[in-house]
A and B are shown apart, each in its own frame.
Chain A
Amino acid sequence: MMIVAGIDVGGKNVHIVIKKDGQILGKVSGPTGIKKAETVEQLYNELLKKAGLTRKDVERVVATGSAAKRVAFANGAIPDAAADARGVIKLIPTARTVIDVGAEEGRSIKISADGKVLDFAINEKCAAGTGTFVEAMSRALEVSVDEMSKITLQSTQTLSTNAQCAVFGESEVVSLIHQKTSKPDIARAVMNAIAGRVASVARIVGLEKDVVMVGGMARNAGFVDSLKKNIEMDVLVPEDPDYMGALGAAEAAIAGVYAEEVKAKGIGKRDRFRRERLIILGNSIV
């Protein structure tokens, strides 16, 4: 009997999965918040309790995500794209391209039949290809993200928006509202624009069947529809696509393939100047 845990600490949400003998025993998710380490501790304890387990029962814990290194109790960590690849290939062995659009990042990963990362591309330094952008646009439209996803599918005309920048994208949405454009058409324009950004990242690594989409945005049916139309290919969405990082981390724990230097901080020692500067600019440093 082997019990393992996979923990994905993303920019917006934490996802945790516990597996026993390869089967999912339990899962939990919650907002990451500012105090990432504390959030992980709290959610992990909650899940253990629900599963009737103690920490000692879990043989290995592997973390992933942008803040994986905040999980001090993990045995190791793996890069988030590697977690995606491992999770997806377990569920969909025919997958060769993984598109992951989360809150803070959009990325495309070319994977081999055994789930190795062959190539990858990431939408860097731009919010216009991420879930955060959709949240901002849904606020401008005064609808929930779920509702925005639904109304996208009701759109009757194709409009184009710039969406090169989250700030100007929002201004553009406001202008369309003032022009009395219907919400479904605006929602579709926003989804098309993000799909365009994500598709261009995917084309950097090449699109090979089967294309699988994971991450929080995979739950957004409107966006997935726009992406399919853009790349002119079918896009498979597994169950619980936002848990894929955690599932992949759990697979790495089962296989015993992970880096053990969990507490390492970036490339070298912390950049004191950068931190001080960010504090001056009012950003929170955790």
Chain B
Amino acid sequence: MPKYKTKGLDCWGKVKQLREKYYKDYGEAHDRGALRWEGGAWNFDAIPQALEGEVHALTEEPYGASIGFDKAKQVRFQEAAEGKWGCARDLCAYLRNYWGSIVLNEYAFGGPWPHADFIFQNHICCSHATWLQTADEIDGGKIPYFCFDVGAGPYDKIGDRQIRYVVDQLHDGIAFLEKVTKRKIDDAKLAKKVENTYRSCCYWAKVCELNKSVPAPLDEKTMFSLYVLGTLEKSNDAFADFYEKDLYPEVKDRVANKIAAVADERCRMIGDSQPPWGFLNVYRYLEKYGVVSVANLYTFSLIGWWKVNDKGEIVPYPTLKEQGITIKDRDHALWLLAEAELKGKLMWAPFYGADYKVDLVSKIAKQWKIDAGVIHLNRGCEGTAQHQMETKNALAKLGLPVMTFEGNMADEREFDEVRTARMIDLFVTETLGLKKVA
């Protein structure tokens, strides 16, 4: 007899449709006279999306992850990046997928590689600093490129000076965009896009916060499919509406009615870094023992905006509406956007040292009532794999058993499925003392 009642998400079909439309729109944009641009998932997409007319983005990481999910395609793309272009195998796996796609002139969602009209990028890690420069080189070297720096400091060291540092670059970015596209930034549209970004990022955090409930309304494997919209285009009207008006109310309702993600939740797990996308069945395998992944700094703050309150707890960052703020002008819009990204994106803090990651993960473990940790030692992303063993030790200090397994988020050649299953069996049956749910 299952412990809890469960059911699938009503909005599941909608998130799939929205994602599909995003990639289709990008592919077909030029047929409709729309602009196409490339950038990162951690970009400030509200700005290029505020250009007059129709504009579509392609973000690097989710595109690389989509290829990573399809094992046959992924190896083909990576071998093209490595063999035909000559990039090293230990570079970011998403990056290799992305470059391979251009080398092969093959858009992962059908048709030839869709050339972008411009690149609007920000430096968030060593790979992003050159990712699209090289992509452009492979693509012929003609795409106008703008890149800005967000390395202004961790969330708790952000003041006006740091925000102004980024805002001034964003003004330069607007000048670049208007010059290369011959289109103007529509300030009313910009205000709307910034407001949408707030809604996407704050409501995702609120959804994650609901996962403190026992039983958890969402499992992490499902959350991967839900946060993706925010990595594609946080400022998108439909995406922001989805987070605020579809997902959040539904998950709230699940909590109120004790509808579980997994009917036999017996052990609440915390993860770390991206998963091995081609092997998400790892999560379903763990669920056979009643082990449910309910939290992960990466999954929470990849798009979610948070703040640490006076009690030292992680809580969702407030929306503009909750703060009672109305955007006054362009500078104000850019300021609000930069402020929330710099103060609210906790996932950037580990780039400033292990102490930040250890502190944030420990806070999550306590607040989300975690029983155990399973850490994917991700060879595919140097950024998110930082401080993983320190994190393991920190969780162990809290008295939590932790298992690590090696893999790669988007290179199936570095993941040993059978061996990982053996380690999970050992960890779950011996260390956690659980048996498979009947």
Q: Indicate if B188 sits at the interface (CB-CB under 8 A).
A: no
Q: Indicate if A125 sits at the interface (CB-CB under 8 A).
A: yes
Given the known interface contacts A117-B431, A273-B72, the answer about A125 and B401 at a Cβ–Cβ threshold of 8 Å is no
Which of under 10, 10 to 19, 20 to 34, or 35 or more describes the interface residues of A?
Answer: 20 to 34
Q: Which residues from 393 to 408 on chain B have a C-beta closer than 8 Å to any C-beta of chain A?
A: 396, 401-406
Q: Collect the chain B residues with CB atoms within 8 Å of residue A113's CB.
A: none
Q: Indicate if A227 sits at the interface (CB-CB under 8 A).
A: no
* Bound-complex Cα distance A32 to B417 (A): 21
Q: Indicate if B412 sits at the interface (CB-CB under 8 A).
A: yes
Closest CB of chain B to A280's CB: distance in Å? 11
Q: Collect the chain B residues with CB atoms within 8 Å of residue A82's CB.
A: 426, 429-430
Partner of A274, one of B282, B392, B412, B431: B412
A-B contact count (CB 8 A): 74
* Bound-complex Cα distance A74 to B417 (A): 23
Q: Indicate if A194 sits at the interface (CB-CB under 8 A).
A: no
Q: Which residues from 238 to 267 on chain A have a C-beta closer than 8 Å to any C-beta of chain B?
A: 259, 261, 265-267
How many residues from B make CB contacts under 8 Å with A?
36
Closest CB of chain A to B419's CB: distance in Å? 7
Given the known interface contacts A119-B401, A125-B406, A267-B282, the answer about A79 and B71 at a Cβ–Cβ threshold of 8 Å is no
Closest CB of chain B to A248's CB: distance in Å? 11
Q: Indicate if A43 sits at the interface (CB-CB under 8 A).
A: no
Contact mask B248-288 → A, CB, 8 Å, 1/0? 00000000000000000000000000000001011011000
* Bound-complex Cα distance A120 to B403 (A): 8
Q: Are A266 and B429 in contact (CB under 8 A)?
A: no
Q: Collect the chain B residues with CB atoms within 8 Å of residue A78's CB.
A: 429
Q: Collect the chain B residues with CB atoms within 8 Å of residue A277's CB.
A: 75
Which residue of chain B has its CB nearest to the CB of A120? Answer: B426
Q: Are B416 and A85 in contact (CB under 8 A)?
A: no
Q: Are A271 and B417 in contact (CB under 8 A)?
A: yes
Q: Indicate if B139 sits at the interface (CB-CB under 8 A).
A: no
Closest CB of chain A to B199's CB: distance in Å? 37
Q: Collect the chain A residues with CB atoms within 8 Å of residue B18's CB.
A: none
Q: Indicate if B423 sits at the interface (CB-CB under 8 A).
A: yes
Q: Which residues from 63 to 110 on chain A have a C-beta closer than 8 Å to any C-beta of chain B?
A: 66, 78-82, 85
Q: Are A118 and B426 in contact (CB under 8 A)?
A: no
Which residue of chain A has its CB nearest to the CB of B413? Answer: A277
Q: Collect the chain A residues with CB atoms within 8 Å of residue B433's CB.
A: 116
Q: Are A121 and B422 in contact (CB under 8 A)?
A: no
Q: Are A66 and B414 in contact (CB under 8 A)?
A: no
In this complex, the member of A78, A124, A267, A273 whose beta carbon has the largest number of chain B beta carbons within 10 angstroms is: A267
Partner of A259, one of B72, B417, B425: B425
Q: Indicate if B418 sits at the interface (CB-CB under 8 A).
A: yes
Closest CB of chain B to A174's CB: distance in Å? 26
Given the known interface contacts A79-B422, A119-B396, A124-B419, the answer about A267 and B431 at a Cβ–Cβ threshold of 8 Å is no
Partner of A66, one of B284, B405, B422, B429: B422
Partner of B430, one of A66, A117, A124, A125: A117
Q: Collect the chain A residues with CB atoms within 8 Å of residue B427's CB.
A: 120
Closest CB of chain A to B411's CB: distance in Å? 12
Q: Indicate if A52 sits at the interface (CB-CB under 8 A).
A: no
Q: Indicate if B421 sits at the interface (CB-CB under 8 A).
A: yes
Q: Indicate if A268 sits at the interface (CB-CB under 8 A).
A: yes
Given the known interface contacts A266-B421, A267-B281, A274-B71, the answer about A118 and B414 at a Cβ–Cβ threshold of 8 Å is no
Q: Which residues of A contact B (CB under 8 A)?
A: 66, 78-82, 85, 116-122, 124-125, 204, 259, 261, 265-268, 271, 273-274, 277
The 6 closest A-B pairs by CB, nearest first: A79-B426, A117-B430, A266-B418, A268-B281, A267-B421, A124-B406
Q: Which residues of B contact A (CB under 8 A)?
A: 71-72, 75, 279, 281-282, 284-285, 389, 392, 396, 401-406, 412, 414, 416-427, 429-431, 433, 436
Of the A-B pairs whose beta carbons lie under 8 Å apart in the complex, a sample of 18, sorted by A's number, is A66-B419, A79-B423, A79-B430, A80-B422, A117-B426, A120-B403, A120-B426, A120-B431, A122-B423, A125-B406, A125-B414, A204-B389, A259-B429, A259-B436, A266-B421, A267-B417, A267-B420, A271-B71
16 new A-B contacts, CB < 8 A, other than A259-B429, A267-B282, A267-B418, are A79-B426, A80-B422, A81-B430, A82-B430, A117-B426, A118-B431, A119-B396, A120-B403, A120-B431, A122-B423, A124-B416, A261-B436, A267-B279, A267-B424, A268-B284, A277-B75
